[in-house]
Amino acid sequence: MVCETINHMVSVSDLLPVEAIRLDVAAEDWRAAIGAAGELLVATGSSTDAYTAEMIRTVVDGGPYIVVAPGFAFAHARPSPAVLRTGMSWVRLARPVEFGHETNDPVDLVVALAATDASAHTEAMASLARLLADPDTGRALRAAPTPAAVHALLAGERPPPPREPGPAAGTAGATGPAGEAAPAAGPAVHKILTVCGNGLGTSLFLKNTLEQVLDRWGWSRYVTVEATDTISAKGKASEAVAILTSREIAKALGDVGVPVKVVDDFTSTAEADQVLRDTYDV
């Protein structure tokens, strides 16, 4: 096994080489789509075929919660011996496929993550969430003609301006609850848990989206967001004011003694804004 130690801030482009990007891939169903992303992880030395099977098993066991935004699936599994080093792959499908998600199907983009632990890729996930939430960058990524063009955008190249100016999709309504006081700090700040099956993939997308909204509200010093897995969330629920997660994970959690709120688009600051307003009744 290849060991790694990452002491510097890791970006999406660091983890996702051009060789791990494929466009207009033919896939007959969601299993084949994840399989194509897994093949790229194997080809670039991030994982073995066993990890691809583990990513597919994650969906079989937990449902399509990895479809974190309309048309976008974030395939991953827990760190395991099948992961050789932290890395990512990017597959844009020639034709969208159904994952069985109630609101975000069909999927035309599958990004896969193989992680050696739960921390090395955190900043990369934050960056990817911001890129996909930005309407101009999201549009440019989906229209990019070559893997090199995708990689350049992920590395920070500015996308071309939109043809017609308009309100930024996914960001409207996230300017903060004007006139509302922040929650009382008390002896400890409030905590919100974002939850997924493994605690290192989709929950990080939602965590970073929530943190963007809290920053805009000026509430970041009063409310912290922690990404965790389903099992740990049950033990930590008493520490939180609310749990935010997917529909599938919410069903798996059941009654944990605090409000469990469903978020459909983990990259939408507008939806995160609304859920936070509902949580704090502002």
The two beta strands, 242-245 and 223-229, are: unpaired
To 10 degrees, the CA torsion angle through 11, 172, 197, 3? 0
CA-derived radius of gyration, the chain: 18
The single-letter DSSP state of residue 47 is B
Report in angstroms the alpha-carbon separations of 116 from 6, 44, 98, 179. Answer: 11, 15, 29, 44
Point out which residues pair with 93 in neighbouring strands.
25
Q: Which of 8, 76, 101, 121 is flagged as catalytic? A: 76
How many Cα atoms occupy the beta-carbon half-sphere of 159 within 13 Å? 21
Quick one: which of 160, 183, 256, 280 has its CA closest to 152? 160
* 121 belongs to the catalytic site: no
The two beta strands, 190-196 and 242-245, are: parallel
Give the three-class secondary structure for 18: helix
Sign of CA dihedral 258, 262, 266, 271: negative
Active site residues: 76
